[in-house]
A and B are shown apart, each in its own frame.
Chain A
Amino acid sequence: GQNIDQPTEMTATEGAIVQINCTYQTSGFNGLFWYQQHAGEAPTFLSYNVLDGLEEKGRFSSFLSRSKGYSYLLLKELQMKDSASYLCAVRDSNYQLIWGAGTKLIIKP
């Protein structure tokens, strides 16, 4: 079966750096997405990786290793507004998105 694993919850301190991991087992691979979802709100797109390596976008970076079935989202200079759930999703060989359950990130002052 297809599976996306990410930690259920993480806690970090304002101003620090946090890495949220995502491992996947899917039928084929056509890209990996990270979305941010604040409580009670819609998910919003953060990043897209289809080739191995690091994609940097401001304070957020996303890394992909296709051979390891692994990605991480790196958040730098954490702000209180970064408290949210972070969803990892993989597009499989049928171009269907398989979603992880999300990682709830709690930022403490």
Chain B
Amino acid sequence: DADVTQTPRNRITKTGKRIMLECSQTKGHDRMYWYRQDPGLGLRLIYYSFDVKDINKGEISDGYSVSRQAQAKFSLSLESAIPNQTALYFCATSAGDLETGELFFGEGSRLTVL
């Protein structure tokens, strides 16, 4: 089983709908992240959380919200989806700064907004 699991893996929705992408991890890491990936662009950070009570905006947080329900769970919501939110979304985890801080990614959630 994957250490970082994302659901759903694929989703097609319509403009204006509310969408939630869920992420759970068994790595025991405190730090969790949501990224989006678009063709020709680098990964862009949407939100990140260093522990259950810590939520931080990333580079492109507008139009998104998150919830850290537990150490192992971090969900991303699109309150009213729009077509330019069509992208591949990745959840990732990392250990603390004392280690290299390498990221462990989920398998991705491909979202299409029509």
A interface, CB within 8 angstroms of B: 4, 8, 31, 33, 35, 40-45, 48, 87, 89, 91, 95-102
Contacts and interface: CB of A to CB of B under 8 A. Distances in A.
Given A31-B100, A96-B45, A101 B105 contact: no
B102 A87 contact: no
B101 A91 contact: yes
Contact of B42 (A40, A45, A48, A98): A98
13 contacts: A4-B42, A33-B100, A33-B102, A41-B107, A41-B108, A42-B106, A43-B105, A45-B102, A45-B103, A99-B43, A99-B44, A101-B41, A102-B42
Interface of B: 40-45, 90, 97, 100-108
Contacts, number: 45
B104 to A, nearest CB: 8
Given A96-B45, A97-B103, A99-B44, 5 more contacts: A33-B100, A40-B108, A42-B90, A45-B104, A89-B43
A35 B90 CA distance: 14
A100 B42 contact: yes
Given A42-B106, A87-B43, A99-B42, A48 B100 contact: yes
Nearest to B110: A40
Nearest to A98: B42
B102 A42 contact: no
A101 B40 contact: yes
